[in-house]
Amino acid sequence: MPQAIHIVGAPIGLGAGKQGVDLGPNALRYARLAEQLAGLENPILDKGNVPLASISDPGPEPRLRCLPTIAAFCATLAEWVADSVAAGALPLVLGGDHSLSIGSVAGTARGRELGLLWLDAHGDFNTALTSPSGNIHGMSLACLTGQGHPDLIGLAGRVPAIQPRHVALVGIRDLDPPERDALKASGLHCYTMQDIDRRGMAAVMDDALAVVGAARDGFHASFDLDVLDPREAPGVGTPVPGGISYREAHLAMEFISVTGKLRSLDLVEDNPILDDRNQTAMLGVQLILSAFGKQIL
């Protein structure tokens, strides 16, 4: 029987530096996500959007902007995801900024040894001590591997939520200097755009999926749309030239599908305010379909 897919909207933008990313979940829905997923014969349940407190106060921690609200939101999101996993479904979380992955990954990781595939232009491996902005969406991967504020690192019921040896970053090309040093010392497996240019996306994905697939209980995939070249995905808040192409992105998602080990997926950082006629959301939907088994033939 095809596995049920539970769609969860995560309309949070407080972890980012620009307005509009909170509109991403509904932009993806407007691009006919549920209808097209249903065409793959998976049972679909749209659970709606996780509620977000209407608080824009940056909070008491200037180097952790909006920490109380983000922590509470991620804790609720983790519960929604954990409930879907317990029901035998595969959670598909729609962002929203990348801080949401602190909750989405933690929810799937509860009681499990989970791998983590992180497709992103950025490392998201800053902490409050290294972040130049204080934006938590640039700290999410560090939190999931045990480095961060106590309110953010324990949502899986243990610290770290993910063991560094089970993490693979793909497509990174824009790192802050302290973040670069931290990644070199972290034990995470990093595949930069130079690796993709030299070796090709297929070889890089083979290696990355071997890393995350070695975890006993499958893996979570987190796809930040800014891993794509801005010519492909203009509707993101932190575009970086020189990203992966349309076909490289689909190939990555097709490789994910073939493993049969995907346990949850989030697609983040779609910002309709910065987009051109919703093309980034429409591309995001097509990439999701590839991850769930859509084939050319």
> Which residues carry out catalysis?
98, 120, 122, 124, 137, 224, 226, 269
Half-sphere exposure of 247 (CA within 13 A, CB side): 3
Beta strands across the sheet bearing 5-10: 44-49, 5-10, 90-95, 262-268, 219-224, 115-119, 167-172, 189-192
Q: Which pair of structure tokens corresponds to residue 227?
A: 């891993």
Retrieve residue 230's tokens.
Answer: 């801005």
Q: Rounded CA gap, 50 and 72, in Å?
A: 11
Q: How far is CA 8 from the centre of its chain?
A: 13
Full DSSP string of 61-99: -TTSTTHHHHHHHHHHHHHHHHHHHHTT-EEEEEES-GG
Q: How many CA atoms lie within 13 A of 10 on its CB side?
A: 37
Q: In 3D, which of 159, 173, 271 has the Cα closest to residue 227?
A: 173
Tokens of 292: 């769930």
Helix, strand, coil shares of the chain, percent, nearest 5, are 40, 15, 40
Q: At what angle do helices 201-213 and 246-259 cross, to 10 degrees?
A: 30
Half-sphere exposure of 188 (CA within 13 A, CB side): 28
